Structure 1
């Protein structure tokens, strides 16, 4: 279809007349009539000069319908004109959106073919003989630069919506000025190729000795009100001048110049604030230093005070005079009530450890039953986009009404960088293209099994115009057939197609549509396709809304990935190329793989933490009592409780239908383990700090009285923090917060119930001289006493470090200043850096580091030159005559200047801010162009249903009329068509 446009306009009988030394004057033809045809059927004009001929009324009316500027005598026969009209008709859909461009374009060829003054600006420069007849083989066409510039200016921005590109890319080979356009038009096409059957040399300078005059008919501006173009096709039209493209948004930032440096105002303000705070703190510290020194002698150290508290407590309990610990620090409010509660609660748990342990664990095990409903969400769109978000709602509407976007399977072959200059060589070579054919052969040979049926690429691929897959590959320039490679010319043909993919018939793809080289090549700059360093092969596959409808595609994709890993990778690497690949289901499959790959990591981490807890919780005062004082079983039990809290949380939410996510499997086990181990150490060490002479119930009661409130408040803050995160609309974050909040809650409840009961059991085991891990084995008491060695506890290494080194150093005045200054510096630096945080989530982050998709996404960023598609969907469109919706949407002539499609076109002028690279391709514009009265060959009727004669094909009569006359131009005619053609009945 692409090659049918402009080039066909010149391919036949657009020119007439020739004689060497022919006279050049008005009412005289340089060539006239048709004298032969080429081997490909393209007709050739006669090179015989003659006077212009007066047409009959019927022929004159036909000429006026296409070339209104030509009246009276003409220099073309009716056969020549019919050929001209048939060919230009194919270019009209590209240019009809801008009537000024279309009129200028038609005038160029009307003057060339039929102008009565043809000899003034046409000179036949060469002739050839065809079957004994002389025919035109080359002409010089003199056109003023002014007409050429005005023609190009009126057409340069006209878009062809069907292909979502400029019309000039089709009718002008992507010309950047009128001279390039004329050079493209004037090329003599080889046999079988679209284009002119003879050479047309466009010139603007007339020889001095000649009486010729350059063609200079009136050229209309695209902003002409009588032939008004849409703003999308003519951004500089007066009606559009008030709506210039928006300039890129300027990121205005406040800057302060300090010498040669420019500092942001926020950074400068934070620095000033930091200096003020530091000096204020120094001043306050200096004023209070003397007072602190005076008071230091009268104050006892905190650690010493606590030691005395414990000593007093021990003596009081030993004497039995006071039934509770006397704390010299009064606890008021919430903490006081919590301490009292935990004192009583601790005694109750220590007296009923079996009941507490069994009941608490039973509750969690009941929650774990929900794991039978456990499911992991691996679909990326379900992880990062909430079901109630606007994006999700719009995608659902699009998928349910228009069908989902195609599934994409992709290969990226790239050259290796040069070892000397790190520059990549071009991949467009004979060897690499032959390799690409071999790869394509293997891909075509994939056979997947789905429910007993064999699935190949042709069963699932997109087939827009026939039986061939719409594969986006360089091989399409050879019709996907290796036998065509040498016949077409190899690499030279591919490079030719890079520039003529819209016009050359041999460059048309196997699925009968032009292939933009930007979609098949990568790693190039500008339009230098020959320098591309990568082949990009894309297989669009039909998609379905439901998962069952994609079963065949998923089965083929798995076979595709397996083929690439096992066969294509070695093949490509042996050719010194790299290969990255992906399928539509690759991300989901890789997420599933990672969700199971972390099981070993989690298990190892829990074993390590178990070993750590076992060592830190136990006492090793003497080697002889190690098996009694160690806490291996207690540590193992604590880690199991942490694991149960995670499983209970997952089980509960699985039971209520909430799917787990990858981040839950990777993060929450470690998060809860860290929190749980911390609290376990606090509880055990609090019990160990109690006097061994106290009863077990009293020791546990005092320990919970001491640390229970802090554990509760810390856990409560963590639970609330995660609970707040459950209000985040992003599903992955919301589900993670919900799971984490419940896991921390269960972990806390198990710690203050089951773990406290386990501590009571462990204390009884140690006092009864039973071996850790094997409590059934009892060790005889030593002669020195049953608890000798166990009672002799010494502070651990960490405790001694904190008491003897860390705390004294922090007590130094200078150290206090430095610590506060560093902390405030980090806090304020964080504030200053907050505005620099960039939103977004790279896809590589959520994938395993060893995933093949890591390299694929890197290559996507490096090589691809095509962005993702963008769709605008309009709901409740009213297409009735009474509604103005059509004018508010379309972008062809007579549409509103601020219509939706015109606004999109304006946005595409500033892609750096709008991120829209090209104007929108709209079915509405295509439909209106198809219905347009400008389209030759359409029938027309009056509003009352009777026929009217169209100006391009008079006479036009009703089929039941026996005679027709030539009526005037109908002003109120509309295009007519049969409703049955559209399935309306």
Structure 2
């Protein structure tokens, strides 16, 4: 199942209980302890069909059941009981040596071992058989000998046994389980079920240790004796052991790499190590890079050769043009005015069918808009305004798994199935304290008494934190994961002292260093929730396995998570997380900095909150960008009048503002339409599309206005508008259509974020185009009428005297300085042949370099990119990198 990738430090609560309890307490089922010491146990003569223990006689002081020493004959169970036994212990048939109560205890206890071994059915089956035979086998007396007994209420109970097995059985059982992984922590299950045993003898010795009262483990000593039998007829257990590579009980290759199936399916070695390369002296280049360089050199030589041939041909056939030609209009336009030539309207005779049709359409459209500007303006604005009503249902999707994973994919289905049947992965709240490295020295170790004391102070503040939720208070204890329903499964180095500062004062830091090496086998190193704490999950920045040199403490608080249906299931946890982040920023961070340490922190809702904050901050950026673009378009659309007062008439501020408003309406209309049909927006849409549509819209608006201004004064405005639309309308239409089609094709991508962005962008560009050729053209009509009447821009009710604006009204004033620069400076420079060659060489070289570098792109989403630069999560990412933490910095899903 496309499981969830999380930060390390995931609780080992389940680990603990299952570790000692599932394995060792399984033994209780059949042989519990006592309260009073007996001098010995009665000797049971081994015989087929007889038991060594039968029935539950009493309970220990901690409530665990105690079995009776009873050399009775195996009992035939009733049909119902036999069926139940077969469901758990298929190897037990006929008579049994366990009662219903004993079997119920066995069934209850072995279930706690299942999470560790469920990944390998063969190992789990073998493990269950080991305890099924011990508990219920009808020939129990042949391989189990009660060596010690205690009296409890005058009843003899088991205090110690010998369990006879063959060495072959023990070896095969161990081999079937030694590589099995515990998925929650991605570590070997043997580290928890066997204390990291390397052989079957070490594993059985771990299982047979005797535990003190109120501690998990076996209540009596179990001594596994391989290949030992005596003259009394003992027969060591040697039942069938399933190999982890058995096809009928197949394990994954990760749990059984020695399987023949896995060995045969190993992928061939990557050929990247022997990739094509070319070596020239001390230089070594990839074949692609070398090929592109060769092609580039050949291309430059071809361009040079063509230029030389063209120049030679020019000398023999026609005059050479070593200098750019003078503008033909210079002689007749010494005053700097634009020539009043007729507009270059495409002729139908030389145009394609499509262009002819479009020219005819735009000519008629221009005439209609000029005659009915108010009707066109109102009708065109009505559409996006109505679409904006859909913004009532506007929602933003910020959950990463909903953005980057297709809802119909197998991964999404498996995650949904996992969450609904088991539960979502824990919510993770995390702190990372680290020492700082200087320029010359590496980061010093963080493992010292002062830093431990600081951790205890931080832990107290976390424990005392109370958040307000609907009038009630919420603490960490109310929401945290509690594997044993008592203590939170906090993952911290302080767990080696059971979160008790007094124990730290008594035992000192040496105890923590001792626990680094014996965390799973020493009782004093167990956490408050009775789980071993792997030091690699709570420390960072250590070389190899030298935990004492760690440069970072990692504190993780697993919190219960629930499936979101109404959005309120995790409201309590989210309220506490907000209070937790505020506490860290205001109180804990200054404490850490005072100790010359660095602190990074995060909560489950941190990414969502930071992304929401980024969207709010981007709103200001978008507003500023639109204001800048408004100023730009107003500046470029205007003219340079010959008289100062005429500037108030020739400026296009109101027209530019109207154009920017139309762009905003197209973006809002697109968002409203898709919000109405239930498509959620994304931060990418909110951040990118406004700029995308603004850039396209401003470009088209400038093209339209300047096309109208290029028309001669001698014709009426109606003809000027229609001629301008015929001139630029087809190109604007085809360009916009190409953009809409490109985005529409991208909408077939199943990735939700890409699909939503493409749909929103296609609709926005389409609306923008429609508004440009309708509403904006109508606004151009009004603006040119205003200018011809000598009315002031932005205050059209005011009018200047005709003498003030004489010669400057309408659309024909002196060229703007940008236009003059392009005409008199930029264009002529590009006309020189050396400049042409340099420009072509540079841009072709950049294109080839881009092709070469594209092969070095690596797939993936950089976590720092999606976050604001001033986010506290940026520090979290950097800490994870420099402290070499083997954990994911954020609670993201990786599929």
Pair 1:581-2:595 in alignment: no
Pair 1:776-2:797 in alignment: yes
Q: Which residue of 1 aligns with 2:505?
A: 486
Pair 1:350-2:338 in alignment: no
C-alpha change, 1:433 and 1:297, in structure 2 (3 Å) is same
Pair 1:817-2:837 in alignment: yes
Q: Is the 8 A contact 1:448 1:454 kept in 2?
A: yes
Unmatched 5+ residue regions in structure 1? 10-36, 47-52, 66-77, 107-112, 117-145, 198-214, 219-223, 318-323, 871-914, 917-985
CA shift, 1:293, in A, is 6.0
Distance 2:477 2:216 in 1: 31
Q: Which residue of 1 aligns with 2:296?
A: 274
Pair 1:559-2:573 in alignment: no
Q: Which residue of 2 aligns with 1:651?
A: 672
C-alpha change, 1:655 and 1:154, in structure 2 (3 Å) is closer
Pair 1:445-2:433 in alignment: no
Q: Is the 8 A contact 2:370 2:721 kept in 1?
A: yes
Distance 2:257 2:399 in 1: 50
Distance 1:234 1:226 in 2: 22
Q: Which residue of 2 aligns with 1:507?
A: 525
Unmatched 5+ residue regions in structure 2? 1-16, 27-32, 54-67, 72-101, 118-122, 135-143, 148-166, 220-225, 230-237, 246-250
Q: Which residue of 2 aligns with 1:332?
A: 352
Q: Which residue of 2 aligns with 1:751?
A: 772
Distance 1:815 1:194 in 2: 84
Q: TM-score if structure 1 supplies the norm length?
A: 0.66
* Alignment coverage as a number of residue pairs: 764
For residues 276-312 of structure 1, the C-alpha deviation after alignment (integer angstroms, 9 at most, x for no partner) is: 4444444444444445567765999796499999999
Pair 1:606-2:626 in alignment: yes
Q: Is the 8 A contact 1:508 1:514 kept in 2?
A: yes
Q: Is the 8 A contact 1:270 1:832 kept in 2?
A: yes
C-alpha change, 1:782 and 1:394, in structure 2 (3 Å) is same
Distance 2:400 2:254 in 1: 40
Q: Which residue of 2 aligns with 1:471?
A: 490
Distance 1:5 1:280 in 2: 78
Q: TM-score if structure 2 supplies the norm length?
A: 0.73
Q: Which residue of 2 aligns with 1:800?
A: 820
Once superposed, what is the RMSD of the aligned Cα atoms?
5.2
Pair 1:364-2:387 in alignment: no
Q: Which residue of 2 aligns with 1:936?
A: none
Q: 1:435 aligns with which of 444, 454, 458?
A: 454
Distance 1:605 1:413 in 2: 38
Q: Is the 8 A contact 1:97 1:230 kept in 2?
A: no
Q: Which residue of 2 aligns with 1:730?
A: 751
C-alpha change, 1:249 and 1:570, in structure 2 (3 Å) is farther
Q: Is the 8 A contact 1:447 1:456 kept in 2?
A: yes
Distance 1:188 1:470 in 2: 25
Q: Which residue of 2 aligns with 1:139?
A: none
Q: Which residue of 1 aligns with 2:559?
A: 540
Q: Is the 8 A contact 2:311 2:320 kept in 1?
A: no
Q: Is the 8 A contact 1:173 1:181 kept in 2?
A: yes
Q: 1:626 aligns with which of 642, 647, 650?
A: 647
CA shift, 1:649, in A, is 1.3
Q: Is the 8 A contact 1:380 1:587 kept in 2?
A: no
Q: Is the 8 A contact 2:181 2:189 kept in 1?
A: yes
Q: Is the 8 A contact 1:194 1:505 kept in 2?
A: no
Q: Is the 8 A contact 2:601 2:876 kept in 1?
A: yes
CA shift, 1:425, in A, is 2.1
C-alpha change, 1:174 and 1:794, in structure 2 (3 Å) is same
CA shift, 1:757, in A, is 1.4
CA shift, 1:664, in A, is 1.3
Q: Is the 8 A contact 1:154 1:234 kept in 2?
A: no
Distance 1:179 1:420 in 2: 50
Q: 1:252 aligns with which of 271, 274, 284?
A: 271
CA shift, 1:115, in A, is 15
Q: 2:636 aligns with which of 616, 619, 623?
A: 616
Distance 2:440 2:36 in 1: 51
Distance 1:356 1:386 in 2: 42
CA shift, 1:229, in A, is 4.3
Distance 1:616 1:513 in 2: 71
For residues 315-372 of structure 1, the C-alpha deviation after alignment (integer angstroms, 9 at most, x for no partner) is: 789xxxxxx9696994333223323332332222222222222221222222222222
Q: Is the 8 A contact 1:497 1:504 kept in 2?
A: yes
CA shift, 1:787, in A, is 3.1
Q: Which residue of 2 aligns with 1:550?
A: 570
Distance 1:567 1:681 in 2: 55
C-alpha change, 1:737 and 1:234, in structure 2 (3 Å) is closer
| Alignment map for 1:100-179 (pairs within 5 Å) | 157=178, 159=180, 165-166=187-188, 169=191, 174=196
Secondary structure of 2:263 counterpart: coil
Q: Which residue of 2 aligns with 1:265?
A: 287
For residues 917-942 of structure 1, the C-alpha deviation after alignment (integer angstroms, 9 at most, x for no partner) is: xxxxxxxxxxxxxxxxxxxxxxxxxx
Q: Is the 8 A contact 2:52 2:146 kept in 1?
A: no
Secondary structure of 1:612 counterpart: helix
Secondary structure of 1:660 counterpart: coil
Q: Which residue of 2 aligns with 1:596?
A: 616
CA shift, 1:703, in A, is 1.8
Secondary structure of 2:693 counterpart: helix
Q: Is the 8 A contact 1:313 1:325 kept in 2?
A: no
| Alignment map for 1:857-936 (pairs within 5 Å) | 857-861=877-881, 862-866=883-887
CA shift, 1:717, in A, is 1.5
Q: Is the 8 A contact 2:709 2:811 kept in 1?
A: no
CA shift, 1:244, in A, is 2.6
Q: Which residue of 1 aligns with 2:417?
A: 397
| Alignment map for 1:703-722 (pairs within 5 Å) | 703-722=724-743
Distance 1:242 1:812 in 2: 70
For residues 567-603 of structure 1, the C-alpha deviation after alignment (integer angstroms, 9 at most, x for no partner) is: 2222222222222222222222222222222111111
